[in-house]
A and B are shown apart, each in its own frame.
Chain A
Amino acid sequence: MDELNSFETYFKDVLRRTLSPPWRKKEVVIQLDAIGVQSVPIILFSISFAAVVTIMEYAYHMKLVIQTANMVPGFAALLILRELGCVITALLLASKVGAGISAEIGLMRITEQIEALRLLQIDPIRLLVVPRVLATILSAMALTVLANGACVFFSMLMSISNLSYSMGTYFSAMNRFASFKDLILSLIKAAVFGFVIPIVSCYYGLSCEDGAQGVGRATTLAVVTNAISIIVLDFILTWLFSHLY
């Protein structure tokens, strides 16, 4: 496809169409359901275990170094809100949604459905990419909030059962270090990750080569590129946000 000659051209096209109406609201809602709602169970399930492991590890480290587990909820909440909640959510979204988008659009490409859309004077980027970009940004933000909530809840349960904390002392220790600003910054990170995942996935889908092997390759490349992009972007954003503290 002409517009896929370079990623730069494709990116500019997506950005221009994402920022200008019409946005095909019905398609956005369908994608919000597929990307956001249907990802809730897998993300909450995974993040709960991550929260429990965080508390266990912090308790071990604290007892090893300063012989007390007093600061565990504070440090754990800080890590959850600043990193764990948004990064794990984004990585899970990349593997679940990113692979799905790439395979779906890749299959449309090799069965010439994209070409058919173009013949019908329908812009494939506006129809396929923009709703997924909008839905993934919104879903990533909402899922990050829910993941943070679940993470804090399960780390609290773990602290109560293993470290003899009460609910009040847990939140008091949490508030000593974590602040609402951490949640806001994690939402900004989530929005950036939510913007990158569909753009990368759709790009590999739209430039998919023929055959089942081509779809498989596009899917793998989408997941790998998304994972690397998320980790690198997380570093860049964390470095930028470090100037705000």
Chain B
Amino acid sequence: MKVETRVGLFFLGAVITVVAFAWLMGVVNPFSNSYALFVQYNFAGGLEVGSPVRVMGIKVGKVESIEFVPDQRDQQGNEVKLKIKISVSKRAKEALRGDSKFFINLAGIIGEKFLEITPGSLSLPIHEAGAVVRGEDPPRIDQLLSQGYGLAGKLLDIVSKNEGSVGHTIELLDHLVTNLNRTLVQLDKTTKNVEISTLLKTCGI
């Protein structure tokens, strides 16, 4: 074999391998069977480019890009700062309808984030390619913790400031429960007496 041919085959092999990698990693796909949707969020909760998109737990696509859009608004006119482009396989298209919800969920032992789409009602229209939908913002765990800390601090403050009156209230509550128990016992006895007298009357004694 000629030197030029050998060198040509060598580089052809390398180019084919690069194309194979591009195809396997989803960069180039001439047989693409997916379409794009845009999901609006105010908080992405750790979602990244390449994160999987699932419908009913089945992987049907991935996050293509995440874009900051400061002047973006949803259909209700509320400000939504993030626009996430996702690719979804056409086999899942029928399931994605007007009332489908777009959640950001957590899976796996390393806490991998993914976008979960719930199936919509058959009576509503399908989301067509390029549709912009509003996603459900994931709960802000950091905010919840921060608010929880604030609330706990206030409670402790109240208790420490009113230590005497709180103790007195608890004592009164204890008395109240004791009295309530006594009343219930008396009521029980009275009910039994009424039943016995009714029985005696029935028997004509």
Q: Residues of A with Cβ closer than 8 Å to B? A: 29-30, 32-33, 36-37, 40, 66, 68, 70-71, 138, 141-143, 145-146, 148-149, 171-172, 174-176, 178-180, 183
Interface residues on chain B, number (Cβ under 8 Å): 24
Contact yes or no, B25 A179, CB < 8 A: yes
State A179–B25 Cα separation when bound (angstroms): 6
Contact yes or no, A142 B21, CB < 8 A: no
Interface residue stretch chosen among B8-16, B71-79, B120-128, B177-185: B8-16
Decide if the interface of chain B is mainly helix, strand, loop or mixed. Answer: helix
State A175–B14 Cα separation when bound (angstroms): 21
State A71–B110 Cα separation when bound (angstroms): 9
Contact yes or no, A29 B26, CB < 8 A: no
Contact yes or no, B7 A33, CB < 8 A: yes
Tell me which of B3, B59, B112 contacts A29 (CB under 8 A). B3
Whole-angstrom distance between the Cβ of A111 and the nearest chain B Cβ: 25
Given the known A-B contacts A148-B17, A180-B22, A180-B27, are A33 and B109 also in contact in the complex, defined by CB atoms under 8 Å? no
Q: Residues of B with Cβ closer than 8 Å to A? A: 3-4, 6-7, 10-11, 13-14, 17-18, 20-22, 24-27, 50, 52, 59, 108-110, 112
Contacts of A175 in B (CB 8 A): 24-26, 50
Given the known A-B contacts A171-B24, A175-B26, are A29 and B17 also in contact in the complex, defined by CB atoms under 8 Å? no
Contact yes or no, A142 B24, CB < 8 A: no
Contact yes or no, A37 B6, CB < 8 A: yes
Contact yes or no, A142 B27, CB < 8 A: no
Given the known A-B contacts A30-B3, A33-B6, are A149 and B26 also in contact in the complex, defined by CB atoms under 8 Å? no
Tell me which of B3, B17, B59 contacts A146 (CB under 8 A). B17
Given the known A-B contacts A33-B6, A175-B24, A180-B27, are A68 and B14 also in contact in the complex, defined by CB atoms under 8 Å? no
Whole-angstrom distance between the Cβ of B54 and the nearest chain A Cβ: 12
State A40–B17 Cα separation when bound (angstroms): 14
Contact yes or no, A183 B18, CB < 8 A: yes
Contact yes or no, A70 B109, CB < 8 A: yes
Contact yes or no, A180 B21, CB < 8 A: yes
Contact yes or no, B4 A29, CB < 8 A: yes
